[in-house]
A and B are shown apart, each in its own frame.
Chain A
């Protein structure tokens, strides 16, 4: 693993995908409006829930806003990196262009996961960070070093879990060819990450922490922000994230053994 080489290649990726995406400038503006509207919509929905009750699943409105902020940031990351790249795997396999990726003297997972970039997701990340700072103010969270490290660790773990889920489903393309709709299923499940886990019934809570760990993705980082999180939950998230990362890597290498180029 030559780190410098990979960094250099990534710089080239950035350059080419930015150049091609900036061709559609009006599109980026429309995407920004979409991101803001969808945040406004979810806050509207949240306010309906809180209309006549002060707490949802033990969370106050101001606290639930943190979940929205973190969800928006993660959604922006998904739109910037995961969505453009991992939907491309489907195309690679259907058209047989995965051959060219595999022949390159570079790690195929690296190439496939980071080749493209959609800059309009950056704006969504910024909208999310803006909301997060607003939440830090209204919840009177004081920033100190241990809090910053813990929130950094949990959010990076969330990103890892999210990436692994996307990559996992995209990898199944090698057998099923069209997994576009499976990604839609994942998207609709991820949607519940906008709400505190405790607001769901017990069975759903189990489902979303054991089978699809969406619970870890937004709720635990938000708890860290509020200073409510226990240490074991953070440790558990670190473990889950590393298990997911390692398995998705293993799964990719395993799936590649079954890849026979198009028309063979």
Chain B
């Protein structure tokens, strides 16, 4: 009975958000285009023969960056910006009365956006293969499923981190600037601009203890068939989720206690 209710709630939320997202097709297409930085990076790598030094062939490197593009497309999170706007506009109060954590609403919003984004990402990949026909490959089903799981886990990690930052809205009005600060290490250390194998040794020694390489580098390596430690990577992803989730619950309960509606 209870699980049925939850299922219905989630299903309704998804349906509502999906039809909402379909209204903004052009924006989502533009957003998908704005994620093509990995391709520019690939261009620098191959055009200057930089990949020779890290022992990755041209083809594997181009697959890596294509996968990085895909993983990024399906792990983009903007919950802090939505939540900040809602809390500044006073929309959080009605959400709090409902018998559903408002973050489910944002979660459904993100999933719905990913479904809408999927065809655009495929189109961009199609163009990529037209320009780089030699890098076409078909990953086997097991690897494909595993990399979908790890992309989803990467999305969950980022969603949790941003939700924690978003909860800071209860204390300060502009949590988004903290998010912009956190985005910088995510951008440079996650493997979006350069694969983590190419990092100098003094960075590689500690980076695998942080959540960053598991956001893009690990799922992209998995999907593109580059060398990676599958069980270790998935384990670390799950470990980070288990670490972050209680933190989110704690900060959420503290925050809602602290929360006072506008004008009170």
A interface residues (Cβ-Cβ under 8 A, vs B) = 24, 26-27, 30-31, 33-34, 37-38, 41-42, 44-45, 47-49, 51-53, 56-57, 176, 178, 180-182, 184-185, 187-188, 191-192, 195, 199-201, 204
Contact = CB atoms under 8 A, between A and B. Distances in A.
B5 interface: no
Interface string B193-225: 110001110010000000000000000000000
- With a 10 A CB-CB cut-off, give which of A42, A48, A180 has the most chain B CB atoms: A48
A45 B24 contact: no
Nearest to B53: A52
A53 B181 CA distance: 31
A184 B178 CA distance: 19
8 contacts: A27-B177, A30-B177, A34-B181, A52-B52, A56-B50, A188-B34, A188-B35, A192-B40
Contact of A27 (B33, B43, B174, B188): B174
B43 A200 contact: yes
A10 to B, nearest CB: 26
B48 A53 contact: yes
B185 A178 contact: no
B241 to A, nearest CB: 25
Contact of A34 (B24, B26, B177, B200): B177
B258 interface: no
A181 B30 contact: yes
A41 B185 contact: yes
Interface residues of B, number: 38
Nearest to B26: A176
Interface in B30-48: 30-31, 33-37, 40, 43-44, 46-48
Contacts of B24: 178
A30 B37 contact: no
Contacts of B203: 44
Given A26-B172, A52-B50, A180-B27, 9 more contacts: A31-B180, A44-B188, A45-B193, A47-B200, A181-B30, A181-B34, A182-B30, A184-B30, A204-B40
Given A49-B44, A52-B50, A53-B53, A37 B181 contact: yes
Contact of A48 (B31, B35, B52, B200): B200
Interface string B10-41: 00000000000000101110110111110010
Nearest to B203: A44
Nearest to A195: B44
A32 B177 CA distance: 10
A60 B173 CA distance: 44
A139 to B, nearest CB: 21
B187 interface: yes
A204 B43 contact: yes
Contacts of B28: 181
